[in-house]
A and B are shown apart, each in its own frame.
Chain A
Amino acid sequence: MNQVINAIGRNLPEYIDGYGKVRPFAGAFATAPDMPRQAPKVKQIFPGEQKLVADLETVFKRIPITDGMTLGFHHHLRNGDGVVNMVLAVAAKLGLKNLNIALSSVFPVHAPIVEHVKAGVVTGLDTNYMSGPVAQAVSRGLFPRPVILRTHGGRARAIECGQLKIDVAFIAAPTADDYGNLNGVNGPAACGSLGYAMPDAQYADHVVAVTDNLVPYPLSPVSIPQTRVDYVVKVDCIGDPKGIVSGTTKITRDPVGLKIAQTTAKVIRAAGLIKDGFSFQTGAGGASLAAAYYVRQMMEESGVTGSFALGGITGYMVEMLEKGLFRTIIDVQGFDLDAIRSLATNPNHLEVGADFYASPFNLGAAVNKLDAVVLGATEIDTGFNVNVVTGSDGVIMGGSGGHSDAAAGAKVTIVVANLLRGRLPIIMDSVLTATTPGETVDVLVTERGIAVNPHRPDLYEKFQAAGLPLKSAEELKALAEKIAGRPESITTRDKVVAVVEYRDGTVIDVVRQVD
């Protein structure tokens, strides 16, 4: 098989069965768009016509959904989602085959997909993140076609550019009216922002709202409007609130995690970013929240008002908004009840689509305006390339999500990681699966020192002046190996089980089958 080497030195097949011709990653900003925006066919509805249908089966028959179609789903209900399984059960009952599932993230709750793959109902998966039984099944080669792993911005781009053509988008709607207006802030399965569903709603040929909270017309506020929704289906329950949101998200108590978080805040300050207009993205994990905690202390001490906080939104960010530390929250996904409450009530809490958040091919994604982003890693190499797809055993346990998008957009991209994860060094010569290219990563913060990407001598000088504990990536790697030894590399089979697309649609790496 002919091979091609991409810009970060990954050896890729030129052509992958079930995926097609590989466009190798050429650099974070090297590939420009060369296509028009795709649009679904124009449709109409006459006065008096109803959108509310009795059940999902009726929707399948009316559209009609046929073999080989691509069904779109979003993941705001996370591990409490009931809609994907419900829809696929109907597909299986109706004997459909060869469906492609475009689900923005896959969680353990989606385990039934595995059985649908075995039965031939589902043969393709297009997602930005996956964990649990489906991810394990993909890694072990269960899917007949390679799974496509995108970024959150990359998925929006692929939909807008027509590369990910969604035939029918199913939107899990915590609240809807009978004419198809939807929002995520009310109802028993409230999840907050519906940002990842917005490109699906805009570009799919058919849009179906599935809700368990039907309210009288017209719904207010509206996240996704009636103008883009074909059918509304009322079901008993779209999700389990326990899996959708956590009551509160908490700062880590792990002393090493706190040390890293504190150092991260010092890095942000030393980079000169703690000033009026500061913008920030961090995740909802305990260590990321801890970084936000220390950044907040610095903002308060300096009397700084930030411009916006971005990404997965937590109560902690909401509190910063309400205390005037940020003027605005830009929200593509909420993580807890406070985030939902704030989105429903605060006009400075903006709900945006995944394209607004992070698409590389439009006239302005919010990530481009970020000053600092704090991101995690399961592995990082001495070229600062990051793996957030596969674990130390080679099995898929995540995905980029917004990782590569925010890394590319932010002025300063900080990757935080324990130098030793359990008994394994986190830093190596070459990551098993490259997800985010090193050229978009500026700083690595570990508990045993900070490494600055050589392409940022400006940051190095600032950190040196601030007395931060600087080491080269190679020194950190040597230190980790001195403590924990050098891990043996993982053996994989030849079969490509997932194609990791960079946000611009080029291939940054592939994941191969493990036993």
Chain B
Amino acid sequence: MDLRRTMLFMPGNNPGMLQNGGVFGADAIILDLEDAVAPQEKDAARLLVAQALQTVDYGDSEKVVRINTLDTFGRQDIKAIVPCRPDALLVPKVESPEDIKEAARLVAAYEQPGQTPVKLIALLETPCGIAEAYRIARADKRVVALAFGAEDYTTSLGAKRTKEGTEIFSARTMVVNSAAAAGVQSIDTPFTDVNDQDGLIADTELAKRLGFKGKLAINPRQIDDIHKVFNPTEQDIVWAERVIKAIRKAEAEGSGVASLDGKMVDAPIVARAERILYLAQLLGLAGGGLL
């Protein structure tokens, strides 16, 4: 299970930012070649990001590169970036399974012998992309997550973007459902007002309740708050430990059915408890006794 509570965008044409990308503690750093970079700077940014991938220590952060769409600079990006061993590519404006298949084909063509396969994360930011979410998630085994981009999406819809996000509610649930059905992660759209901490926390809490596993971030200041929301709470951890203990006890007693507080502990509950404990251990929030 890869941890992607936060995926932080960093402009691919800013050497200072690229150098410091690893210090903020984001689970993933997205070195951006798309929206953050003006067309006349695309080639310079591509070179810079390629160099950064090979020389900068990003610590524990996953190295993701947002390439351009395949009909603009995306093919040149893949050719230059894939041999530099990023962990994953974020493919923007994916609208169909074919987009992902084509990206995957190009990635395979430029991977070096012995290189860890480069993963793909599909960024869904158009009504077509949302409608095709499940098929996109299943298009290639390299796909590990669906990410949602609400700004372009609402522009296509002709809807007004609001902080409450009612206009993107159905798209969010669609992304979460499609990702879960395909067995990949779902990553929520960024919260764009970097000065509204309370708004960010509320929006992240909603995303977590809907089932998202992480959130895109556009400013390092957002990371801690997003992590706090996605981290299991002490209450969660205590509950999960009790579930696992109950199931172990039932197994030891030869009973096929466990119960906790008068309720049956079935497989989905066990799976949820295991995920909480896994996360808790990964984040150093709990000991490793039960898993």
Return the contact of A467 from the options B23, B57, B220, B284 (Cβ within 8 A): B284
B20 at the interface (CB under 8 A from A): yes
Are B284's CB and A255's CB within 8 A? Answer: no
State how many angstroms separate the Cβ of B224 from the closest Cβ of chain A: 7
Are A258's CB and B23's CB within 8 A?
Answer: no
**Closest A residue by C-beta to B24:** A259
The reply to whether A420 and B221 contact each other, CB–CB distance below 8 Å, is no
Residues of A within 8 A of B281 (CB): none
Given A262-B224, A467-B284: A255 in contact with B24 (beta carbons within 8 A): yes
Least CB distance from A423 to B in Å reads 10
Q: Is A381 an interface residue (CB 8 A)?
A: no
Does A126 touch B at the CB level, under 8 Å? Answer: no
Q: Does A97 make an interface contact (CB < 8 A)?
A: no
Interface check B154, CB cutoff 8 A: no
Give the contacts of A454-475 with B (CB-CB under 8 A). Answer: 467
Q: How close is A510's CB to chain B, nearest CB, in angstroms?
A: 35
Size class of B's contact patch? 10 to 19
In the complex, B219 has a CB within 8 A of chain A: yes
- CB neighbours (8 Å) of A448 from chain B are 23
A256 beta carbon closer than 8 Å to chain B: yes
Interface size on A, residues (CB 8 A): 11
| Option from A255, A262, A482 in Cβ contact (under 8 Å) with B20 | A255
Q: Is A371 an interface position by the 8 A CB rule?
A: no
Q: Is B54 an interface residue (CB 8 A)?
A: no
Shortest Cβ distance from residue B40 to the other chain A in the assembled complex, whole angstroms = 26
Q: Which residue of B lies closest to A260 (CB)?
A: B23
| Complex contact A258–B19 (CB within 8 A) | no
376-410 of chain A: CB within 8 A of chain B: none
**CB within 8 Å of B: which of A477-493?**
482-483
What per-residue 1/0 map shows which CB atoms of A251-268 lie under 8 Å from chain B? Answer: 000011011001000000
The reply to whether B20 and A258 contact each other, CB–CB distance below 8 Å, is: no
| Interface membership of A447, Cβ < 8 A | yes
Q: Are A256 and B20 in contact (CB under 8 A)?
A: yes
Contacts of B56 in A (CB 8 A): 483
A420-B19, A448-B23, A483-B19 known; A259-B284 Cβ under 8 A: no
Please determine whether B23 and A259 come into contact, CB atoms closer than 8 angstroms.
yes
Chain A residue with Cβ nearest B23: A447
In the complex, which residues 406-454 of chain A have their Cβ closer than 8 Å to any Cβ of chain B?
420, 447-448
B19 touches A255 (CB 8 A): no
Contact partner of B221 (CB less than 8 A), chosen from A255, A447, A467, A483, is A255
- How far, in angstroms, from A165 to B183 measured CA to CA in the complex? 80
Hey, which chain A residues are within 8 Å of B224, CB to CB? Answer: 262
With a cutoff of 8 Å between Cβ atoms, the chain B residues found around residue A420 in the complex are 19
Across the A-B interface, how many residue pairs have beta carbons closer than 8 Å?
23
A258 touches B284 (CB 8 A): no
Least CB distance from A419 to B in Å reads: 9
A454 to B: closest C-beta gap in Å = 24
For A258, the chain B residues whose CB sits under 8 A away are: 220-221
Q: Within B199-242, which residues are at the interface with A (CB < 8 Å)?
A: 219-221, 224
| Interface of chain A: mostly helix, strand, loop or mixed | helix
Chain B interface mostly: helix
Residue numbers in B under 8 Å from A483 (CB-CB): 19, 56-57
Chain A: minimal CB distance from B281 (Å): 14
Which residue of chain B lies nearest to A266 when distances are taken between CB atoms in the complex? B224
Once bound together, how far apart are the Cα atoms of A64 and B20, in whole Å?
A: 60
* A481 and B59 alpha carbons, distance in the complex (Å): 16
Which residues B50-67 have CB closer than 8 A to chain A? 56-57
| Contact call A256/B284, Cβ cutoff below 8 A | no
Q: Write out the residue numbers on chain B whose beta carbons fall within 8 Å of the beta carbon of A482.
A: 57
Verify B221–A256 contact, CB threshold 8 A: no
Kindly identify, within residues 146 to 170 of chain A, every residue whose CB is under 8 Å from any CB belonging to chain B. Answer: none
Task: List the A residue with the shortest CB-CB distance to B195.
Answer: A253
* Chain A 59-88: CB-based contact to B (< 8 A → 1; otherwise 0): 000000000000000000000000000000
Nearest B residue to A446, CB-CB: B23
Chain A neighbourhood of B20, CB < 8 A: 255-256, 447
Whole-angstrom CA separation of A262 from B224 in the bound complex: 10
Q: How far is the CB of B288 from chain A (nearest CB, A)?
A: 16
- Scan residues 1-43 of chain B and give those whose CB is less than 8 A from a CB of chain A: 17, 19-20, 23-24
List, in ascending order, chain B residues with CB within 8 A of A467's CB.
Answer: 284
User: Which has the most chain A C-beta neighbours within 10 Å: B56, B221, B284?
Assistant: B221
Nearest CB on B from A188, distance (A): 34
Output the nearest chain A residue to B221 by Cβ-Cβ distance: A258
Residue of B nearest to A255 (CB): B220
In the complex, A467 Cα to B20 Cα: how many Å?
A: 21
Residue of A at shortest CB range from B21? A255
Min Cβ gap B190→A in Å is: 15
Which residues of A lie under 8 Å from residue B24 when comparing CB positions?
A: 255, 259
A219 to chain B, nearest CB (A): 43
> In the bound complex, what is the Cα–Cα distance between A483 and B56 (angstroms)?
8
Residues of B within 8 A of A255 (CB): 17, 20, 24, 219-221
A483 to B19 CA separation, bound complex (whole angstroms):
9
Name the residue on B nearest A483 (C-beta). B19
- Distance of A467 Cα from B219 Cα, bound (Å): 23
* Minimal Cβ-Cβ distance residue in A for B8: A255
Cβ-closest chain A residue relative to B194: A253
Distance of A430 from chain B, by nearest CB (Å): 26
Q: A469 — nearest CB in chain B belongs to which residue?
A: B25
Q: Report the bound CA distance from A483 to B59 in whole Å.
A: 13
B153 to nearest A CB, angstroms?
Answer: 27
- Closest Cβ of chain B to A247, distance in Å, is 19
Q: Output the least CB separation between B223 and chain A (Å).
A: 9
CB distance from B5 to the nearest CB of A (A): 16
Complex alpha-carbon distance, A467 and B56, angstroms: 24
Contacts of B17 in A (CB 8 A): 255
Complex CA–CA separation, A258 to B24 (angstroms): 10
Cβ of A158 to closest chain B Cβ, rounded Å: 42
In the assembled complex, the CB of A126 is this many whole angstroms from the nearest CB of chain B, namely 39
Residues of chain A contacted by B19 (CB below 8 angstroms):
420, 483
Residues in B with CB closer than 8 Å to A262 are 224
* A426 and B56 alpha carbons, distance in the complex (Å): 18
**Assembly CA distance A420 to B56 (angstroms):** 14
Q: How far is the CB of A467 from chain B (nearest CB, A)?
A: 6
State how many angstroms separate the Cβ of B194 from the closest Cβ of chain A: 9
- Bound together, the chains give a CA A255 to CA B23 distance in angstroms of 10
Q: How far is the CA of A510 from the CA of B7 in the complex (A)?
A: 49
CA distance A375 to B57 in the complex (A): 28
Q: Considering the chains assembled together, what is the distance between the CA atoms of A448 and B20 in angstroms?
A: 9
In the complex, how many angstroms separate the beta carbon of B18 from the nearest chain A beta carbon?
Answer: 12
Chain A neighbourhood of B57, CB < 8 A: 482-483
Contacts of B23 in A (CB 8 A): 256, 259, 447-448
Q: How far is the CA of A255 from the CA of B16 in the complex (A)?
A: 11
What would be 11 A-B contacts, judged by CB atoms less than 8 Å apart? A255-B17, A255-B220, A255-B221, A258-B220, A258-B221, A259-B220, A420-B19, A447-B20, A448-B23, A467-B284, A482-B57
Report, nearest first, the 5 A-B pairs whose CB atoms are least far apart. A255-B220, A447-B23, A256-B20, A448-B23, A258-B221
Q: Which A residues are closer than 8 A to B by beta carbons? A: 255-256, 258-259, 262, 420, 447-448, 467, 482-483
**Beyond A255-B24, A255-B219, A420-B19: 14 further Cβ-contacts under 8 Å?**
A255-B20, A255-B221, A256-B20, A256-B23, A258-B220, A259-B23, A259-B24, A259-B220, A262-B224, A447-B23, A467-B284, A482-B57, A483-B56, A483-B57
